[in-house]
Structures are given as structure tokens and as C-alpha cells.
Amino acid sequence: MEKGNRQFLMDLLNTPSPSSREMVIQKKWIDYVKDFADEIRTDNAGNAIGVLNPDAPFKVLLAGHCDEIALVINRVDDNGFLHFDKMGGINPKAAVGMKVTILGFNEQVTGVIGVNAQHHGGLKDDFDLEDLFIDCGYKSKEEAEKNVQIGDLAVYKTEPEVLMDRYLSGRGLDNRTGAFIIAEVLKQLSEKGINVGVYAASTVNEETNMGGAYFAAAGLEPSMAIAIDVTFATDYPAVNKNKHGDVRLDGGPVLAKGAPINIKINQLLEKTARQLNMKVQYELTPRMTGTDADRMRLTGPGVPVSLVSLPLRYMHSPVETSSLKDIDEEIELLVSMLSNLTGEESLNPLD
């Protein structure tokens, strides 16, 4: 990965982007993409879409969501402690003892998620978010409410780091890595020339309702769509591979197989991987994918979809970890496949 590209990725990962508050990261994404896209489009959901070859009748939508999971303040008590619920799939056990940045209506505030000392009994085994609280140092409800109000969001206060110059670790790799990947795919395609229209959409709200993907696909009516997301790596201790499969960092991009997935798009991806001598991995999505693909598929007359995912350790924790090599290979796979499309492809499985 080139230095400038890595800096853009790190900038995205350092930008808070909780579901429903993606505006800041979207503006950074647009500022990067506008230099090589033919057009930049936005919509009322908050999606940012970079376009190449907009006049082509065959349209490919790439969706990588930019939002991350977060905490949402639901109560300020009389002593100034903040209580919260989840915005997306927060794991209560991962939240214990973490620092957070509260995106207050007045200013950003640092807080810590307090925990009962083990000397005083510690946390009960079946604790939930309602047993936790945020301590910002406020002494009263009145003092806290000068900066924080109900509905404000908070994210873990962590910085992305590169481990051994091979693995990337931090919060919100799910799925700001996807927003990065589609930007880089668009950038490389802009230098190649293509026969189809490519619409790279940094989508919003995937972690909560997938509404961004619906707006993007309904508005564009693409010929096909590919969700670019993350999936569960199983290459670390205590994971049951018999139950969850064998997906590894540095093992290559992950293709989904299941009822929602258009088999012909997968065949195009597999053919491209063979031509590149690139390994791919597989995950099963028998009924639903749990990604933007589910919403894109059911827009308009129906959209053929596929899902290409980045293997990710420690999903929805403050230390999600992925491989820089896998990121580069996923970009290469998508660029090569899309640049070889003629626009005459049939995605009907019966043809």
C-alpha cells in the first residue's frame, strides 16, 4: 500500500463516524475521491457516491459503509454520570474500562466507562450496558448538560495502529476499510478506462438499519451491486472452526455463498482471482448476508448482488484487526474484474 493511500486510510479510521453521524467522514471521503471521479453525488440519506463513466447503460454499484458502532447517551443522572444504550452491535464486555469520546452538542468530551472494583464485588456475570456508565468528571447533572444531551453519541477513544507492518488494528475497521477500498478501486479504474459505469458508494447507517444502501440502490437502479464489508476471521485462539469455518488473515478476500448471492457475479470474481493467481476464501450466507447487500438486492425490480469481505479479527471491539495484504488484494481483485467487464454480461443464472 502506497504511503499516501495508507495516510488516507488512517485518516478515515481516526475520524469518528457513528451511525447517523457520518457527515464529517463523508466530507473527507468526497474530498479525496473528487480528484479522480467523473462525478460526485450525494443523497438525502447521507451517502457519498463517486462515479466513473456515468453514461454507460450497465451500472455497477460498489457499497462500502462508513459508519461505525457507537454508544448513545440516554440519561444524565444527578451526579453527572452518563448512562447509555447502543447504536449498533456494542459488546458490553468489550466496553468495560474503555475511554470514550463523546460527540457532545457543544464540544467533544473525554470520558471513561466506570467499573465496580473487584474489591467491591466487581461486575456480575450477566451484566449489560445498563450496568455501565460514563464518568467525564462532571459533579452534577447541570454541569454535564452544558456539553452533553440525550441522543449524543460516543465512540471508543482509540487510535489505529499497524502491527508488525502487516496487520491494522483499531476501532471501526468495520467498515471504514470498505469505504477506503471502494475509493481506491475507483481511483485505479479511473487510470485504466472501463466499459461500464462504476458507482462507489460510501454508505451510511449499515450498523443500524442499512437505510443508506437502500437509498443508494433505489436511486441508481444498478445492473449489479457488490457489498464491500468485513467478515469474521477465525484464526485466533478459542474460535470453533468446525462451527464458524476457517477464515484467516492473509488468506485473501472472502466471497459469500448462499441464497442472496448471484452465482454469475461470483463466477466473474473467481475467474479473475484465478487469472491473478490469487487465493480467495469463502463464507456461508444461507439466508441473509447481514450486510448492505441485503437491502440493495431488494430495490426496484431487484438487483443481482455479491459480497466481498475482508477477514477481521475481534469484530465490534475496540481492537478490530485486519491484514494490509488482504486489503491490497481485495482492491486488485475488484479492479481487475470490473475493468474486464464488457457491459454485455448476463447475470441471469438460467442463461
Copy the grid coordinates of residue 222: 444498478
Per CATH, the homologous superfamily of domain 70-156 is Peptidase M42, domain 2 (2.40.30.40)
Can you tell me the distance from the alpha carbon of 244 to that of 100, in angstroms, rounded to the nearest whole number? 31
Spans of all domains in the chain? 3-68+171-339, 70-156
Name the H helices within the chain. 3-13, 23-33, 92-95, 141-144, 173-190, 211-220, 241-244, 263-275, 292-297, 324-339
Q: Do domains 3-68+171-339 and 70-156 have the same CATH topology?
A: no
Copy the grid coordinates of residue 212: 443508506
318: Cα separation from own chain's centroid: 14
Nearest to 311 by CA among 217, 220, 246: 246
Query: Which pTM does this prediction carry?
Result: 0.96
Written as tens digits, the pLDDT of the chain (351 aa) is: 787 799 999 999 999 999 999 999 999 999 999 999 999 999 999 999 999 999 999 999 999 999 999 999 999 999 999 999 999 999 998 999 899 999 999 899 999 998 776 665 667 777 888 889 999 999 999 999 999 999 999 999 999 999 999 999 999 999 999 999 999 999 999 999 899 999 999 999 999 999 999 999 999 999 999 999 999 999 999 899 988 999 999 999 999 999 999 999 999 999 999 999 999 999 999 999 999 999 999 999 999 999 999 999 999 999 999 999 999 999 999 999 999 999 999 999 999
- DSSP-derived letter for residue 132 is -
Q: Grid cell 471521479 — which residue?
A: 37
Assigned fold of 3-68+171-339 = Aminopeptidase (3.40.630)
